[in-house]
Structure 1
């Protein structure tokens, strides 16, 4: 029998423990970890790659819905919402055949959900994508034993290095669990290099170099490379031919 791996993301400790106990009595599913907030949950989704995530909707700072928009559509797990909304509030999910669990969790309803996932009778991927936000207003980051939430509009650039994806503002820099692909698709950041995205409103000057290359200087005097492949698009975006 196929066994699915599961991750539980909920800011309420009691709710997580209750769900862990209920799932422990069911065959075909194994809870491999839990997270108490969306930022921690995002990190564990990326590292553990669970088959299914039981995701609370209402969490502080970043909600479950916002977390959906931060997942890579090519590798995202099945998602089951866990919500304290009453029956009428979740009707919208039910009308779209979107899976959810209502708190307090009914073991019979949970068993039905698990069986459906095991039998692949219901695929939630497309529905998750249809409900996830098209844009990200904030970017969760970690750095120096801290967690920071950076407003997207404050970002000067984002780039990848050996430590992962770095998000830089005029005053700080932190590591993000989001991929450059997600940041390019869901923020105003523009691709200017295979490893760099730039906020065009943060550009102070562009130095044109030899061989069709260029270098961006941001308002905080940070240097961002521009490759030949993306220079033309950057010029057109700024209104230059």
Structure 2
């Protein structure tokens, strides 16, 4: 059971996270806090495994609260914010993810899946490395093809399948995109839309669009739209490469 603390100065925001967590039987809400100072005290006393931490709060903000704790004592963290300029800070404190308000339900589930994977590794031992999929087996007629993760250009959602784009070919993997996302190395792959994941080294250029969306163009010329929900995650991933 993963023990969770929710920190946000807005009661409605805490309630939103609380309601989403209630749908998952393998997590336990152990407490809430409304500011950075209270968050530190709650983390020190409750020892949660995961904290949903609001970034901007009166007084001590969320990033400062996490920096106040020794790295070995920090819980896994998912940052929450209505603003778009804290993404790199999230990676500096090794946050698992960064959710932009208003929170998208699918992004929330994806972040929680990432927390589950990290929690399992932490329980198994602090030194246990994260294990990501390096190859996939896909059925083509009566044959089974092996696709290396390094060969994939991008991945799209196809109902209950994921379409693995390798050059001009598309291999259908019987696995929904949100589940597959948790098995991919975040240093190599980043989600850019609820229906698309891109391999970072395939990105050639970004073109800003209206409403903070943008367009990425891959090295082979493929254009893919990046939604506002994922733009900060993409920018942060590109910044640390």
TM-score grouping bracket, smaller chain normalisation: 0.3 to 0.5
State which structure, 1 or 2, has the greater radius of gyration over its C-alpha atoms.
1
**What TM-score, normalized to structure 1?**
0.45
